[in-house]
Chains A and B, each alone.
Chain A
């Protein structure tokens, strides 16, 4: 032991202790010292090279041995994405439905006499000469022919023209066979509203038999006059244009339908409502035909733009 424990070794041990203590204190006071910066600076390229090599090796290892695992993982992730998209779609659908039902609840709160059945559109007519769609509820749900279909906001969509057990066909207001007695809400002029008249713009409605002296304003709202088929005050559309009929004895107005029929998913069928005479009307029992609804005499319109 004495032979090996030379002065040099002793000196080195003393230096080691001094360095350990001194550098410990120094690093505590000054943080990074110059030698530390130099050594770390010299080591930096080696560390960078090592990291780059490791990354490359990992990449190739991944290519060689993890390809199948990654492919399987990719498949699982794709499935999950599809599931999540499905959930998102359902959530969207539920949200829209919730919104519509909320609006329908408001409508029912406004018109407590309405009894409504909600239904989803399951098919559209494919012919050019009719504008109809099919809903997923029929006589089982209390729907019968000649009942009025509206949106959640109380906008007229059309009329039930055929009712099966579990389905019903609605003829929309855009169809030329359907006529509704309407009133311009601001002026009180009455007329007959029907669709399919305007070549090249079949999405507009035409309101006929308006008095030639009628003053028709742009964006005037047209509502139902009220009958055994349509309750009073349902919104049909708003005026976008007006003019004289060919005979020159009456005016007509072009209306933009209030209901966006092409993008509808759900409609509400009014199965029962109370008329002004406080009699409960069940539309199917009443007389059909909006066409037979008498137009009421016109009242004087307020001053405004002449259509």
Chain B
């Protein structure tokens, strides 16, 4: 033993090359889930920017699609009640704080509608593209109706504008169709954890 201490090793140990996520000492599954939620966050940030910078400039028949709302509701329905409920709460609060949302009441509307749309899908429908988009789309249309009702209540809009709000809801539904494959792709990172 004493001899070992006297002699000095000629070789240095290999440098540990790891990614940032490896240095967090997480398991592979945890890293993948972290990546998945990071992708969701990035997608939401991009959608907020696109909504603010590009979509807000255009009006199709007087209505503007709300990309962020469509994304939040679609992600909620895709993730299911357990995870989706927490997600929709956090996402709607952040959405409110970005300044893009019309008011704090949108947090309540998004949470209620997102969770009930998810429940509806999980209870009565299969897990497929049509069912998910239909449930999330219905929630998006109802969200616009709720926003309209709040506007009427506050005296910020008038009844003749109802078709415009409904049209915006339909646009949100239509946006979900191309978004669905992307959300599904991100949702399956780290394996399918849905329990149905």
| Interface residues of A, Cβ cutoff 8 Å to B | 1, 4-6, 8-9, 12-13, 15-17, 19-24, 27, 35-36, 38-40, 43, 46-47, 49-51, 54
Cβ-neighbour of A40 out of B46, B85, B97, B107 (below 8 A): B97
In the complex, identify which listed stretch (B2-10, B49-57, B129-137, B186-194) lies at the interface while the others stay far away.
B49-57
Query: Are B45 and A46 interface neighbours, CB within 8 A?
Result: yes
Known: A4-B122, A8-B85. 15 other contacts (CB 8 A): A6-B82, A8-B82, A8-B86, A9-B85, A16-B89, A16-B107, A17-B108, A20-B104, A20-B109, A21-B104, A24-B103, A40-B99, A46-B45, A46-B49, A49-B49
Q: How near does chain B come to A14, taking the closest CB pair, in angstroms?
A: 10
Residue B34 at the chain A interface, CB threshold 8 Å? no
Residue contacts A-B, CB under 8 angstroms, 18 given = A1-B123, A4-B123, A5-B119, A6-B81, A6-B82, A8-B82, A8-B86, A9-B81, A19-B107, A20-B104, A39-B97, A39-B98, A40-B98, A47-B53, A50-B50, A50-B52, A50-B53, A51-B53
B side interface size, CB within 8 A: 34
Give the distance in Å from the alpha carbon of A15 to the alpha carbon of B92 in the complex. 12
Find out whether the CB atom of A12 lies under 8 angstroms from the CB atom of B115: yes
* B96 within 8 Å of A (CB atoms): yes
Q: Roughly how many angstroms separate A143 CA and B94 CA in the complex, as a whole number?
A: 91
Residue numbers in B under 8 Å from A1 (CB-CB): 119, 123
Residues of B within 8 A of A40 (CB): 97-99
B37 at the A interface (CB under 8 A):
no
- In the A-B complex, the 3 residue pairs with the smallest Cβ-Cβ separation, listed nearest first, are A16-B111, A20-B108, A39-B97
Instruction: Looking at the assembled complex, report how far the CB atom of A278 sits from the nearest CB atom of chain B, in whole angstroms.
Output: 84
Task: Check B52 against A12 for contact (C-beta < 8 Å).
Answer: no
Residues in B55-108 with C-beta less than 8 Å from chain A: 81-82, 85-86, 89, 92-94, 96-99, 103-108
Distance of A131 Cα from B85 Cα, bound (Å):
100
Q: Are the CB atoms of B53 and A12 closer together than 8 Å?
A: no
- From known contacts A46-B49, A54-B54, infer whether A23 and B94 are also in contact, taking CB-CB under 8 Å: no
Given A1-B119, A24-B104, A39-B97: A16 touches B53 (CB 8 Å cut-off): no
CB neighbours of B109 from chain A (8 A): 20
List B residues 7-51 near A (Cβ within 8 Å).
45-46, 48-50
Task: State A5–B119 Cα separation when bound (angstroms).
Answer: 8
CB–CB A23/B107 < 8 A? yes
Which residue on chain B has the smallest CB distance to residue A25? Answer: B104
CA distance A205 to B37 in the complex (A): 98
Nearest Cβ on chain B to A54's Cβ, whole angstroms: 5
A9 to B97 CA separation, bound complex (whole angstroms): 23
Expressed in whole angstroms, the Cα–Cα distance for A149 and B92 within the complex equals: 89
Known A-B contacts A9-B115, A43-B48; A23 and B96 likewise in contact (beta carbons under 8 Å):
yes
Contact A36 B97 (CB under 8 A): yes
- The answer on a CB contact under 8 Å between A12 and B111 is yes
The interface residues of chain B lying within 8 Å CB-to-CB of A23 are: 93, 96, 104, 107
Query: Given the complex of chains A and B, what is the CA–CA distance between A35 and B53 in angstroms?
Result: 22
Whole-angstrom distance from the CB of B57 to the nearest CB of chain A? 9
Given A4-B81, A24-B104: A50 in contact with B98 (beta carbons within 8 A) = no
Interchain CB contact under 8 A, B123 and A12: no
Report the minimum CB–CB distance from B170 to chain A (whole Å): 25
B45 touches A43 (CB 8 A): yes
Q: Determine the distance from Cα of A20 to Cα of B150 in the docked complex, in whole angstroms.
A: 13
Residues from chain B with a CB closer than 8 A to the CB of A15 are 89
Residues from chain A with a CB closer than 8 A to the CB of B46 are 46
- In Å, the complex CA distance between A278 and B81 comes to 117
Inter-chain contacts of B86 with A (CB < 8 A): 8, 12
Query: Contacts of A54 on B, CB cut-off 8 Å?
Result: 53-54
Q: How far is the CA of A38 from the CA of B99 in the complex (A)?
A: 11
How far apart sit A49 and B45, CA to CA, in the bound complex (Å)? 12
Q: Determine if B112 is an interface residue (Cβ-Cβ < 8 Å).
A: yes
Complex Cα distance, B166 from A230, in Å, reads 90
**Which A residues touch B97, using CB under 8 A?**
35-36, 38-40
